[in-house]
Structure formats: C-alpha cells, structure tokens
Amino acid sequence: MTGAVFTVRQIFALGVATALLLAIPATGQEAAAAQVAAPPSASAGAAKMLARTPPMGWNSWNKFACNIDEEIIRRTADAMVTSGMRDAGYEYVVIDDCWHGTRDADGFITADPKRFPSGIKALADYVHSKGLKFGIYSDAGRKTCGGRPGSQGYEYQDALTYARWGVDYLKYDWCNTGTRNAEEAYTLMSDALRSTGRDIVFSLCEWGNNKPWLWSPKVGHLWRTTGDITDKWEGKHDYSWGVLNIVDMNEPLWPYAGPGHWNDPDMLEVGNGGLTDTQYRSHFSLWAIMAAPLIAGNDISTMNEATKAILLNKEIIAVNQDALGVQGRRIWKEGDREIWMKPLTGGRRALLLFNRGNAPAVIGFDWEQLNYPPKLRTRIRDLWLHKNLPARAQSYSATVAPHASHMLVLEP
Ligand code: GLA
C-alpha cells in the first residue's frame, strides 16, 4: 500500500475533524433546503433564477399610501444610496398603488400626469442610474385597491408597457377580482411578464386567501401570506394586523419557502413610529429569521439613527440572505418566551431568543434542540451587540428584556 500512510496523531486529528462534521446531523430544514437548492428546473433556468435570496428594497405604501409623486421616489432613490441602504443589499425601489392615470385610446396605461409629469420611464431610468432596480404595482381586478385602473383584460399589454419602461419588479394585488380564480389570474400575468423576455420579479399580493404557497412557486417569486401589516405591535385593526399576529400566521408556512420562492409576511414598518425601537428590532429580527422579503416601508430620506441602525444591521441582513435559503421557524415556546432557529450555510445556526412578555425573561436552549452534539464547542456571535460571546458547548441562556430579541449565530 502506498500513499495513505498516517501517523497516529494525524489519524486522531483527522478523526476528530471528520467526526465533528459527520456528527452534525442535518435538520429536516437543511435536508429540504438541499433538495430545493438543487439545480432549478429548465423553466427556472439555472443561471437566471430571480430572487435566489429574499428580495430586498423599499416600497412607498406603508409610509405614503396614495400620497406619492415622482419627487418622493427620486428623493428615496437618492437616500437609498447616501444612507448606505443600497450597499447593504436593498435593491428594488417599488412604487405601490396610485401612480396611475387613465388608459389611452389604445388601452395603454399611463401615469398620473400631475404626480408623475416626467412619466414612469424617466423615473425608472433615474432609479437605474443610481444602481438600483425599479418596481411597480398593479392589480388582477378591474380596479386596484386604491380605485385606479387594474390589469384585468390588459395583462399582456401592461406587461409589455412595464418591460418598455424598464420595470424589474411587479407587485400584483387582489382587489376587485370578483369571482376570478386566483391561480389562473396570477398565472396569466406571470406568463405575460415572461413573454416580454425581461427579468421581472413577480410579487403576488393575494393576502393568503387561496393558499398561494401551494401553487405560487411556479407562478411568482414571493407571495403575501396575510392581510396588510399595520404599524402596531399586536391585534387586528380594520383590514390589517399587528406584527405579532402576522408572525403567527407566517411561521407555520416555513416549509414552502426556498430560493426563488418566498413567503411574504408584508413589508417592514421599521421607522414609521408606531412601535418602540426595541419592538422594531424584534420586528426586523423576526422578518430576517423568517427569510421574509426585506422591503423597507419608511421615509428613507428622513430616518433617524436608531432606524438606520436597525435597517442597516448587516449581520442580521446576512442571516436573511443566507444562501441555504431556509425559512427559520419557532423551535420552542413557553408562554411569552420563544426560541427560533434558522439553519445557515456551513452548519451554522441563527437563533432568536424572543420575549413577547411585559417582564424580563430568561430564555435558553440546549444544543440538542439544534441537532448539535452536546459537547460540540461552538462560537457565538451576538448580532445586535455586534460582539463575540465566549465559545461554549451544551447550552446557552440569557435574560431578554420585554418585547426584545437576542439574535445569535452559532458556529461549530
Ligand atoms: C392592498 C395591499 C397593500 C397595498 C394596498 C394599495 O391593501 O395588500 O399592500 O398595496 O392594497 O392599495
């Protein structure tokens, strides 16, 4: 026998390293991710998969609703660059409802001439000139939720118009759709977008009414799982839900998310003023660990330092954007205390210790809950404190303030 001759010491060293690797059993999520991450089918196109990680960007609705104009969109695009948002990964600048004017004599949709006098093409060009991508909004019904012209009956014509304008992302709403079949309506627009030959991320906004997670992965890249978010911690408010309610609706859907197709628990409210900074940090942490699209919904041009520190926390963004593409889930809950886990590349785990209660709470976990061997010595990084905690094995616990979240990455 030649070649492979090892000393006892080498064999021991190799053995420990291999044993460590082999001893980390994959979680069900990691196994599922391995399948999802396998080469995409011909239709998806290996080199062309859009939204391989959850889309990131900004959308006008949560802050401005229908009070939008081209000046706000330009100012936002500028601020995306100067604030560092673009460089942190926020890519799409999306105009939500109410940009529309009327259809012209040939049926082509036009922009509201008062609010968007330069037209949408010029605005898209401006956004692109900033190194950002441009998104727009329409609706599968005859009218949008804001009463503007919808795309029903004009799907191919609108898709063509968007492609001519340079649209990179379409959010497609579900108001005024009557008895339309959701899967058919969204598939029609999906086909129309594809027929343009332009890469357009397709965001389904059907509020989870027809279980879009079951049929949307082949239709679009993200789908809303709930009604609208509102800038409140908890409860139902007219047609909208607080952050905690949305979290509880979106969490069980984790098996349906993966590269190119994501559950969308709606856009961020961080910085809009309805929550405390502690609650906003939890909101952002939960969206990150749920592999949710990170679409900021505040006024980027006037945001304060606390808001910036949340939206620009690159360590937390990295958890959201991890290439394994697995949606994290709640692995333990007792009363108001919760532990969430998201498997990451390299056998790492993101952990979220979340306290919903009004009093400080001790929250802890064992390595077994993470599918780690108990003796595995593990590095621990705190992503809000931006510091390494002492490496350890077996278990970890900490006291978490009311409504707060500790977000960690464990690395064997
Ligand atoms: C619906 C959507 C929101 C927003 C508004 C616009 O409510 O769910 O996200 O787009 O319409 O009118």
Q: Is the CB of 206 under 6 A from ligand 1?
A: no
Of these residues, 69, 158, 228, 322, which one is catalytic? 228
Q: Is 248 a residue of the active site?
A: no
* DSSP H or E run through 159: helix 155-165
pLDDT at 71: 98
pLDDT at 359: 98
Q: Which residue has the tokens 């997670």?
A: 213
Nearest-angstrom CA–CA distance, 55 and 51? 6
Considering only the C-alpha atoms of the chain, give the largest distance between any 2 of them, rounded to a whole number of Å: 84
Model confidence over 382-391: pLDDT tens digits?
999 999 999 9
Question: What spacing in Å lies between the alpha carbon of 36 and ligand 1's midpoint?
Answer: 30
Share of the chain above pLDDT 90, in %: 88
Question: What spacing in Å lies between the alpha carbon of 41 and ligand 1's midpoint?
Answer: 32
Q: Is the CB of 139 under 6 A from ligand 1?
A: no
Name 305's bridge partners.
Answer: none
Nearest-angstrom CA–CA distance, 388 and 378? 11
Confidence of residue 334 (pLDDT cuts 50, 70, 90): very high
Alpha-carbon Rg for the chain, nearest whole angstrom, is 23
Model confidence over 117-170: pLDDT tens digits?
999 999 999 999 999 999 999 999 999 999 999 999 999 999 999 999 999 999
Closest CA to 198 of 46, 41, 48: 48
Q: Is the CB of 61 under 6 A from ligand 1?
A: yes
* DSSP H or E run through 189: helix 182-195
Question: What spacing in Å lies between the alpha carbon of 65 and ligand 1's midpoint?
Answer: 9
* DSSP H or E run through 132: none
Residue having the nearest C-alpha atom to atom 1 of ligand 1: 145
Q: Which two tokens stand for residue 226?
A: 């709930």
Average pLDDT over residues 186-197: 98
Q: Is the CB of 96 under 6 A from ligand 1?
A: yes
Mutate which of 58, 59, 61 for ligand 1 pocket (most atoms within 8 A of beta carbon) = 61
CA 63 from chain centre, in angstroms, equals 18
The answer to whether residues 271 and 299 touch, using CB atoms and an 8 Å cutoff, is: yes
Confidence of residue 48 (pLDDT cuts 50, 70, 90): confident
The answer to whether residues 366 and 296 touch, using CB atoms and an 8 Å cutoff, is: no
Mutate which of 145, 172, 222 for ligand 1 pocket (most atoms within 8 A of beta carbon) = 145
Mean pLDDT score of the chain: 92
25 burial level (CB within 10 Å; 0-12, 13-18, 19+): exposed
Angle at 29 between CA 90 and CA 361, to 5 degrees: 75
Model confidence over 3-36: pLDDT tens digits?
333 333 443 343 444 444 445 566 666 665 555 4
Q: How much is the pTM?
A: 0.92
CA dihedral 279, 281, 283, 288 (to 10 degrees): -170
Q: Is 228 a residue of the active site?
A: yes
Instruction: Please identify, by atom number, the ligand 1 atom nearest to the C-alpha of residue 205.
Output: 8
Of these residues, 69, 96, 139, 173, which one is catalytic? 173
Nearest-angstrom CA–CA distance, 222 and 208? 11
376 burial level (CB within 10 Å; 0-12, 13-18, 19+): middle
Closest CA to 201 of 263, 122, 135: 135
